[in-house]
Structure 1
Amino acid sequence: MERAYGPSVRRRRLNARLRGYREQTGETTGQVAKALGWQQTKVSKIETGERRKVSVDELNALLDYYGEHDPAVREALHECARLGNQRGWWSKYRDLLPSGLPDFEVEASVIKTYECQVIPGLMQTPDYAEAIFRANLVRSNDEIVKRVDSRMKRQAVLNRVDPPEYWAILDEAALRRIVGSREVMIQQLRHLTHMAARHNVHISVLPFSEGAHPATIGSFVIMEFTDPMDASIGYVETPTSSVYVEEERDLLVLNTMFSGAQGTGLSPARSLGFINEIIESLEE
């Protein structure tokens, strides 16, 4: 299967490299802009990603100014600029999907998620996902169909030949809440057991009996990337918006919370047994 590219990841990589070049010179964005005959805002917006498109001539001008003449490096950065302008399959669902999330998922080498209320989207069955979306009574049938379709397409990231390592910590509440019906829930939990058999999927259950734990603040996702130029990024969704966490100290907080919750939870083997016990209780 052809590998998808995440435009947001490529733009971050290009922006970070250009910002790094400038910082090595000790110059401000205003000084660089003046030397190139540009507006100061042009350089700053390229570095922050506010300017989504960087032309071939603009990139060449910056690389020449910073003294980057290595052909391989220049071609790699031009590829980042080109791919950063492309659209992934998710662009047609832009109004339905979490803002930019698939951009990062398709390029992540590691995805870590803690979910306290529902099964994570990357492991939901179609019927379970539909029931989740129908819980919002203001959605039309057509919108629900599109939302389920987009969620199933997102899951392709775990089906690749080179899938990311996926670490999921599930609160017991997410496993016991009956979503849709008992039959839908049994099917969903069985799907979790099948996912747990994959070499790249690791599921840990955080049982009620453990009481308070480091991740009681709520659900979140952390994504890591192979390329050292791509810093890790966190994702937190709220009822009205989504927030990306990029500051190193904030990511440290999320990673500490994840590690603490993982240490509190059951091992993958015990978690599988726990899920099977819930399935049996639903089948009685």
Structure 2
Amino acid sequence: MQSPISPSVRRRRLARELRRLREAHDLKLAAAAKASGVPLSTLSSIENATARRIRTRDIDALADLYGTTDDVRAALHRLTRESKETGWWSSYKDIFGSNALPDFEAEASMLRRFEGLTLPGLLQTPEYAAAVFRAGRAIPEADVERRVQARMERRNIFNRIKPPHLIAVIDEGALRRVIGGPTVMQAQLEHLKNMALRHHIDVQVLPYSAGAHLALAGPFTILDFPTPIDPPLVYVETAVDGLYLDQTDDVERYNVAFSNVQGVALSTALSFELIEDVLKSLEST
């Protein structure tokens, strides 16, 4: 089972704490760097949560400058150690890139996902995922299996003692678009039904009749974390990479968009019925 610790979440937490301490002493970034002896570029990268290698002596120098208690100093060092940990996703850097979505999923308490064209990756079967990756033959066949393995590994978050609550709003078109052929699609819809019965997974279908909505720009995920010190994060997929947004205004816009699509989507009960109807129509063809 994958580690519940997210190194990226810990880097963000360390960054906010060091920024808070600096601002509490009314110090500009350059002044804090000069007074502590920590290079300005290093301090900037730490406070921006982009530093991959954080030296113990730099943390001690900053703790000395800010006059922290022994407990706070120890907490800063703990966050530094945890920010260096590696999860299972580190072996899939060729798939996920340097900023791995599973890194954040590992510690998220809630995932709110809107999907318009395919079923959400966390709810896909291996066969359906393979068919998605094979679309347009843009990905070499040799890479398809590895991508499927990585996607299936992500599903292990639902096997945690306290799994995250997933709320998935799926456009009706994603249910009716036959990907991988009727047999693959039937198995996928059966799997979706089974997942929707789990107490920590809510599946809502956005029907065609809903018309225009605030998520027409495309799929996105809002990740919420169990403690207030870790603010929400938005993950937006693009054709070439994933974009992470954590500024308050950006997150709020996506919160509004998700609330809109969830509000006009069918209830979980009616969504389950629609999934069954689509499945029956496939079985009759």
TM-score normalized by the length of structure 1: 0.96
Does the alignment pair 1:69 with 2:69? yes
Query: What are the equivalent positions in structure 2 for 1:138-177 lying under 5 Å apart?
Result: 138-177=138-177
Pairs aligned (count): 283
Structure 1 portions without partners, runs of 5+: none
- Seq. identity, %: 42
Match for residue 89 of structure 1? Answer: 88
Deviation at 1:203, TM superposition (A): 0.6
Match for residue 16 of structure 1? Answer: 16
For residues 3 and 246 of structure 2, the distance between their equivalents in structure 1, rounded to whole angstroms, comes to 25
Q: Which amino acid aligns with 2:104?
A: F
Deviation at 1:57, TM superposition (A): 1.9
**Other structure's SS at 1:96 match:** helix
Does the alignment pair 1:270 with 2:264? no
**Other structure's SS at 2:94 match:** coil
**In the TM superposition, what whole-angstrom CA distance separates every residue of 1:80-103 from its partner, at most 9, and x where no partner exists?**
211211221111111112642111
RMSD, matched Cα: 1.4
Residues 110 and 225 in structure 2, CA contact (< 8 A), matched pair in contact too: yes
For residues 215 and 39 of structure 1, the distance between their equivalents in structure 2, rounded to whole angstroms, comes to 43
Q: Which amino acid aligns with 1:211?
A: G
**Other structure's SS at 1:95 match:** helix
Query: What are the equivalent positions in structure 2 for 1:217-228 lying under 5 Å apart?
Result: 217-228=217-228
Query: What are the equivalent positions in structure 2 for 1:76-225 lying under 5 Å apart?
Result: 76-97=75-96, 99-225=99-225
Deviation at 1:194, TM superposition (A): 0.5
Deviation at 1:257, TM superposition (A): 0.3
Deviation at 1:173, TM superposition (A): 0.8
For residues 216 and 246 of structure 1, the distance between their equivalents in structure 2, rounded to whole angstroms, comes to 21
Deviation at 1:63, TM superposition (A): 1.7
Deviation at 1:49, TM superposition (A): 2.4
For residues 136 and 60 of structure 2, the distance between their equivalents in structure 1, rounded to whole angstroms, comes to 49
TM-score normalized by the length of structure 2: 0.95
**Other structure's SS at 2:169 match:** strand
**Other structure's SS at 2:222 match:** strand
Residues 6 and 104 in structure 1, CA contact (< 8 A), matched pair in contact too: yes
For residues 96 and 38 of structure 1, the distance between their equivalents in structure 2, rounded to whole angstroms, comes to 34
Residues 111 and 165 in structure 2, CA contact (< 8 A), matched pair in contact too: yes
For residues 167 and 83 of structure 1, the distance between their equivalents in structure 2, rounded to whole angstroms, comes to 29
Residues 6 and 103 in structure 2, CA contact (< 8 A), matched pair in contact too: yes
For residues 118 and 2 of structure 2, the distance between their equivalents in structure 1, rounded to whole angstroms, comes to 31
Residues 2 and 88 in structure 2, CA contact (< 8 A), matched pair in contact too: no
